[in-house]
């Protein structure tokens, strides 16, 4: 049975950190304001917000210490990773989850934070939230249903999401624990201590800014390592800003995915609102969901 962190109450503290890429303070200020003034929580901002060391928000040691401090802080009930980028892989094996295992808290984020989600699910069987991060709150973004889905998830409301039909969908129903995240990271984690099991799970994938041939290569890595053959179902989210080589690959990202899983008989949904774009519903890793892929509608619900 998956261990679910306690849901948040008014006045609870949310820690905000940048454990991977750097992010300016001004791009997080609206998120902090909304969490405090609109949603009724309190915030504790980490030292890695607004700092930079080369590509990262700090040295490996600085990012590790900042994150470690937040997960060990009894007052902090959830940790919102302000952005993804790259860098979690460099510190994941040095994080101590000793205290966290006894008193888990919600870890929130996507993209590079897929490493954290997968690590928690694989090693400790603790649920976390693949969900919008700080920048999504900007420009009144916190009003939209995708950012609001994060609030609903943190407050313990059951999710019930719908998606439009897609010509590549494979109809059917699936029930299983939800696993997944960014395709690049899922492929990157194969064979490591953070590699989560997919057998009998509903897997979701999304990505941004990749070459089409690399999408194909990563799918074959998952396929050859047995990650795609025994799924309960597959959810394909946004594959945005895809790039092509001088000699065209000859297929779109969705066509590549369709062909890679064509031999399997589980339901597949394309175009689900989980992505690097605005359309990014909060999804609880490890929690049981029901996926229904019908002719006129797709539904995913807890």
173 CB neighbour count, 10 Å cutoff: 14
Work out how many domains the chain is built from and give that number: 2
User: Quick check: is 6 in a domain?
Assistant: no
Task: Dump strand ranges (E) for the chain.
Answer: 13-17, 42-45, 76-81, 106-109, 128-130, 160-163, 172-182, 202-208, 233-240, 268-270, 283-285, 288-293, 298-301
User: Quick check: is 95 in a domain?
Assistant: yes
Q: Based on the domain organization, do 202 and 99 belong to the same domain?
A: no
Instruction: Name the active-site residue from 30, 177, 206, 210.
Output: 206
Q: Based on the domain organization, do 248 and 178 belong to the same domain?
A: yes
Instruction: Name the active-site residue from 111, 118, 149, 275.
Output: 111
Query: Is 206 annotated in the active site?
Result: yes
Q: Is 294 exposed, middle or buried (0-12, 13-18, 19+ CB in 10 A)?
A: middle
The CATH code of the domain that includes 24 is: 3.40.50.10740
Q: Based on the domain organization, do 178 and 145 belong to the same domain?
A: no
What residue numbers bound the domain in which 190 lies?
160-301
Q: Indicate the DSSP class of residue 59.
A: -
Query: Is 119 annotated in the active site?
Result: no
User: Quick check: is 191 in a domain?
Assistant: yes
Query: Is 20 annotated in the active site?
Result: no
Q: Based on the domain organization, do 52 and 143 belong to the same domain?
A: yes
Q: Based on the domain organization, do 148 and 218 belong to the same domain?
A: no
Residue-level pLDDT, tens digit, the chain, 302 residues: 899 999 999 999 999 999 999 999 999 999 999 999 999 999 999 999 999 999 999 999 999 999 999 999 999 999 999 999 999 999 999 999 999 999 999 999 999 999 999 999 999 999 999 999 999 999 999 999 999 999 999 999 999 999 999 999 999 999 999 999 999 999 999 999 999 999 999 999 999 999 999 999 999 999 999 999 999 999 999 999 999 999 999 999 999 999 999 999 999 999 999 999 999 999 999 999 999 999 999 999 99
Instruction: Name the active-site residue from 117, 119, 188, 276.
Output: 276
pTM: 0.97
């Amino acid at each position: 049975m998956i261990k679910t962190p306690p849901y948040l109450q008014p006045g609870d503290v949310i820690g905000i950190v940048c454990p991977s890429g750097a992010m300016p303070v001004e791009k997080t200020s609206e998120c902090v304001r909304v969490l405090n003034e609109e949603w009724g929580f309190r915030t504790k901002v980490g030292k890695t917000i607004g700092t930079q060391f080369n590509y990262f928000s700090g040295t490996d040691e600085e990012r590790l210490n900042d994150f470690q401090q937040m997960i060990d802080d009894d007052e902090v009930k959830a940790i919102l990773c302000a952005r993804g980028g790259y860098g979690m892989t460099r510190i994941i094996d040095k994080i101590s989850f000793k205290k966290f295992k006894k008193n888990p808290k919600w870890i929130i984020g996507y993209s590079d934070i897929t490493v954290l989600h997968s690590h928690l699910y694989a090693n400790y069987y603790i649920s976390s939230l693949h969900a919008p991060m700080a920048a999504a709150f900007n420009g009144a973004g916190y009003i939209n249903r995708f950012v609001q889905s994060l609030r609903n998830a943190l407050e313990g409301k059951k999710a019930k999401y719908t998606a439009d039909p897609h010509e590549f969908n494979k109809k059917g129903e699936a029930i299983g624990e939800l696993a997944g995240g960014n395709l690049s990271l899922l492929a990157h984690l194969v064979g490591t201590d953070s590699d989560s099991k997919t057998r009998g799970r509903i897997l979701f994938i999304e990505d941004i800014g990749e070459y089409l041939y690399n999408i194909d290569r990563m799918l074959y890595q998952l396929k050859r390592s047995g990650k795609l053959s025994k799924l309960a179902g597959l959810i394909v989210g946004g594959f945005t800003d895809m790039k092509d080589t001088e000699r065209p690959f000859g297929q779109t990202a969705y066509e590549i995915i369709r062909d890679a899983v064509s031999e399997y008989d589980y339901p597949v949904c394309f175009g689900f609102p989980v992505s690097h774009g605005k359309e990014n519903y909060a999804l609880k890793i490890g929690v049981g969901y029901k996926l229904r892929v019908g002719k006129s509608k797709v539904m995913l619900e807890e």
